[in-house]
């Protein structure tokens, strides 16, 4: 049996988890405090919010992942070589995403997002991400857990404090709340630079081509995952019909509540991934497959509880925190069902990654994202067009991942488990 996570590992996870909880609370405060805004104002913010989450976790979080993976155990030599590389890459990603965002200044783009100030807030967020995520990757890879957690916690505190201050000053609105995102993101990085001396400043730089190649693969998977999960509000504003404005806000708040189990699972990954990877490396295929089956079974159970809980308690919770922005019972079932399938796919994806099946993970999520477009093109009912991409994309990814994982386990029992490559620690699925 693989060893249980060490006390130090659990302590680090608990610290990061508490910081993530604070950050999550801050995100919900933004959405709750804006609930009295008009449907149009809330819909505009929903589009902005979904874009920042999708781009931030789809493009910039992979920079953190690959940075952390690359410097773990790296040698020291050329001072600042790795630091310069990752911040240059982060800046390059910011330039690329910001140039793409400039398209929103067109008449059609402004009609979609609602205000040129929201476009500026979006670009400002990308520029802030270009600083925060590389810094987080450097701290994470250097095992500087306290400072890493401080970034996440400070961002969460600011996401609570700044909106409260804005409301107190009578300035609440989509634009003012939108600028909370880049301000909180940028200011939160200060704990990383409190001390002048950092253990990661002297890291040797990896070959640029190798770093960028791995990063591109991570972005392909991460962006596909985020598009599947956060497509609802973005699609609703486009194809929601006469109720597009109201539907956009309703989808956002319902999705925000329904995805809480996904958020909780991310904190618990330390209890799952290392055990599977350790058992696999040690040749204990039965233990590895048993752990994956238990995790998938727990995910299925959680998905069922999620759908039933949202059906029974969803309207009450949504009315309590987001008065007037409540989907129909059928809509709640569709959104929560989609999140439940997504959670199952995520757990299977984690298991596949722990077994070294990176290509399977990336291919499955990319194909899932492509498949998610089909119902938008074929269906006519606005609610189905908005909610089906999450269901279809997650289901297609889950099926591919499940088949690939089963084949890997079956072949390993006959031939022995293959060596897990060093890149197996790339947490592709942590971007949800």
Where do the structural domains in the chain lie, given as residue ranges? Answer: 1-206, 242-412
Residue 259, judged by CB atoms within 10 A of its CB (0-12, 13-18, 19+), counts as buried
pLDDT of residue 78: 40
pLDDT of residue 296: 92
Tell whether the torsion through CA atoms of 319, 322, 323 and 325 is positive or negative: negative
List, for the chain, all residue ranges whose pLDDT scores fall below the cut of 70. Answer: 1-20, 22-23, 26, 72-81, 194-206, 240-242, 267, 270-271, 413-432
Q: What is the rounded distance in angstroms from the CA atom of residue 409 to the CA atom of residue 34?
A: 48
CB atoms within 10 A of CB 399: 15
pLDDT in tens, 202-254: 445 567 788 888 889 889 999 999 999 999 999 998 886 667 888 999 999 99
The DSSP bridge partners found for residue 76 are 203
pLDDT of residue 213: 87
pLDDT of residue 265: 84
pLDDT of residue 374: 95
């Amino acid at each position: 049996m693989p060893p249980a996570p060490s006390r130090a590992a659990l302590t680090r996870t608990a610290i990061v988890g508490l910081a993530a909880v604070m950050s999550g609370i801050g995100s919900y405060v933004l959405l709750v405090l804006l609930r009295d805004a008009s449907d149009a104002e809330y819909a505009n913010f929903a589009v902005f919010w979904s874009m920042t989450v999708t781009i931030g976790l789809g493009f910039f979080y992979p920079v953190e992942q690959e940075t952390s993976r690359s410097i773990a155990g790296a040698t020291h030599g050329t001072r600042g070589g790795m630091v310069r590389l990752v911040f240059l890459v982060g800046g390059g990603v910011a330039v690329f995403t910001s140039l793409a965002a400039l398209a929103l200044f067109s008449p059609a783009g402004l009609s979609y997002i609602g205000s040129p100030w929201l476009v500026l807030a979006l670009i400002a967020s990308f520029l802030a991400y270009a600083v925060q995520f590389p810094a987080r990757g450097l701290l994470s890879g250097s095992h500087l857990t306290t400072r890493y957690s401080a970034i996440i916690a400070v961002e969460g505190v600011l996401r609570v404090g700044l909106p409260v201050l804005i409301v107190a000053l009578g300035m609440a609105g989509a634009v003012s709340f939108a600028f909370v995102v880049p301000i909180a993101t940028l200011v939160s990085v200060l704990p990383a630079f409190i001390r002048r001396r950092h253990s990661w400043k002297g890291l040797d730089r990896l070959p640029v081509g190798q770093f960028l190649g791995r990063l591109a693969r991570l972005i392909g998977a991460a962006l596909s995952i985020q598009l599947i999960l956060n497509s609802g509000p973005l699609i609703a504003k486009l194809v929601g019909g006469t109720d597009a404005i109201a539907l956009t806000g309703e989808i956002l708040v319902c999705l925000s509540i329904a995805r809480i189990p996904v958020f909780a699972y991310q904190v618990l990954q330390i209890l799952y991934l290392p055990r599977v990877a350790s058992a696999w490396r040690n040749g204990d295929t039965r233990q590895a497959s048993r752990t994956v089956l238990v995790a998938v079974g727990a995910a299925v159970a959680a998905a069922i509880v999620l759908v039933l809980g949202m059906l029974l308690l969803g309207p009450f919770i949504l009315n309590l925190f987001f008065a007037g922005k409540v989907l129909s019972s059928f809509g709640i079932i569709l959104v929560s069902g989609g999140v439940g399938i997504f959670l199952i796919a995520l757990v299977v994806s984690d298991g596949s990654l722990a077994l070294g099946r990176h290509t399977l993970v990336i291919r499955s999520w990319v194909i899932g994202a492509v498949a998610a477009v089909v119902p938008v093109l074929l269906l006519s009912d606005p609610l189905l067009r908005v909610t089906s991409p999450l269901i279809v994309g997650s289901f297609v990814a889950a099926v591919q991942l499940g088949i690939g994982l089963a084949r890997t386990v079956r072949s390993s029992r006959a031939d022995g488990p293959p060596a897990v490559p060093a890149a197996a620690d790339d947490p592709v699925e942590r971007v949800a």
